[in-house]
Amino acid sequence: MIVVYITAFAPDQGESIAKLIANPPEGAPVPPILPPQDGFLFLDKQKFAPAFAADVEPGLAAFMADSQVPWGVEALQGEVSRPAWKEKPSWYLVATEDHMIPVGAQRMMAKRAGATTVDEAGSHAICVSKPAAVAKIIEDAANGVD
């Protein structure tokens, strides 16, 4: 088994997303997360494209903003008990134009995980904007390519 992170959080034992985002580095982009509604979070539709999908075709980015699925506030508090990257070979795709997870944070988590790291110019929605790059890192990981 392997683990492939695509511009994602890779928490360590005892960490949660809330802990990882608690003290962003100075100058880091601030995701346009709206105040919770009934225990769920959404991104501001007006700021969605530049923050989440800056390199996605505008019509598709607008559709993504309109059809976003809410995520539970409590999900931010869940602490990892056994990080998969401590037991499995890991790869990490750093989206170098991500405005949701700071690039420095992505690099720190990838390094800490001992992940084979690939940089790709793209937004947080790199799976949509550059599917070939995403498929390549997954294929390389599956084949054990460093």
pLDDT at 121 over 70: yes
Q: What are the residue ranges spanned by the domains of the chain? A: 3-14+33-143
pLDDT at residue 39 is higher than 80: yes
pLDDT, tens digit (0-9, with 9 covering 90-100), for 41-55: 999 999 999 999 999
Q: In the chain, what percentage of residues exceed pLDDT 90? A: 90
At 146 the pLDDT is: 67
pLDDT category of residue 28 using cuts at 50, 70 and 90: confident
Q: What's the whole-number average pLDDT of the chain?
A: 95
Query: Which tokens sit at 115?
Result: 């992940």
Its pTM surpasses 0.75: yes
3-state secondary structure string, 21-89? HCCCCCCCCCCCECCCECCEECECHHHHHHHHCCCCCHHHHHHHHHCCCCEEHHHHHCCCCCCHHHCCC
Q: What is the mean pLDDT of residues 24-40?
A: 90
Torsion of CA 45, 49, 52, 56, to 10 degrees: 140
pLDDT band at 25 (very low <50, low <70, confident <90, very high): confident
Segment 129-136 mean pLDDT: 98
| CATH for the stretch 3-14+33-143 | 3.40.50.1820
Residue range 68-119, pLDDT digits in tens: 999 999 999 999 999 999 999 999 999 999 999 999 999 999 999 999 999 9
Binning pLDDT at 50, 70 and 90, where does residue 30 land? confident
Q: Which residue has the tokens 């991500």?
A: 98
